[in-house]
Amino acid sequence: MSNIEQLLGRLERVKGRNGSWTARCPAHDDKGPSLAVRHVDDGRILLHCFAGCPVESVLSAVGMDFGDLFPPDEKRQGYPVEGKPRLKPAFYASDLIRILSFEALVVSICAHDIRRGKKLSDEDHERLKVAQQRIEEVMHYANI
């Protein structure tokens, strides 16, 4: 089994195809698909949690390490097993749009509650702030 198959097999709510997926982040109490996973052409696996979990935490939650993100030949040369990969993650527009769409849903549920005269709970209010942070982060990743 390849590393990417192993990783996807250990994640929940995996959606996507063609080397690009979103999933529930295993490193925090994730209500939405915060984790973006990409398998790039050179064999590397890119991971990013839009709620801000470090890659180390995501990897340790699924029992993997940095070495598992690189193809075997690079691992043999001692390509970063410790520390962060040098390359900045790059994500497809489809990953980013999937996350935006989920955050839009969160905002719309809150708006619906407010319209019905329901008071926003502290938890909902915090979740709205997270939605805003994620949308900003998506903009950053899209280089906007």
Q: Compute the least distance from the CB of residue 137 to Zn ion, in Å.
A: 12
Compute how many residues bind Zn ion; rule: CB under 5 A. 6
Task: Give Dmax (Cα) for the chain.
Answer: 61
Task: Tell me if 49 contacts Zn ion by CB under 5 A.
Answer: yes
How far apart CA 50 and CA 85 sit, in angstroms, is: 17
Task: Tell me if 75 contacts Zn ion by CB under 5 A.
Answer: no
137 CA to centre of own chain: 11
Q: Compute the least distance from the CB of residue 38 to Zn ion, in Å.
A: 16
Task: Tell me if 51 contacts Zn ion by CB under 5 A.
Answer: yes
The closest of 136, 144, 133, 106 to 51, measured between CA atoms, is 133
Pick between residue 4 and residue 11 the one whose CB is nearest to Zn ion: 11
Coil, helix or strand at residue 121: coil
Q: Compute the least distance from the CB of residue 132 to Zn ion, in Å.
A: 17
Task: Tell me if 138 contacts Zn ion by CB under 5 A.
Answer: no
Task: Tell me if 47 contacts Zn ion by CB under 5 A.
Answer: no
How far apart CA 69 and CA 138 sit, in angstroms, is: 22
Task: Candidates 28, 43, 66, 94: give the one binding Zn ion (CB under 5 A).
Answer: 28
Q: Which residues make Cβ contacts (< 8 Å) with residue 30, sequence separation at least 6?
A: 24, 51
Pick between residue 74 and residue 133 the one whose CB is nearest to Zn ion: 133
The contact set with Zn ion (CB under 5 A) reads 25, 27-28, 49, 51, 53
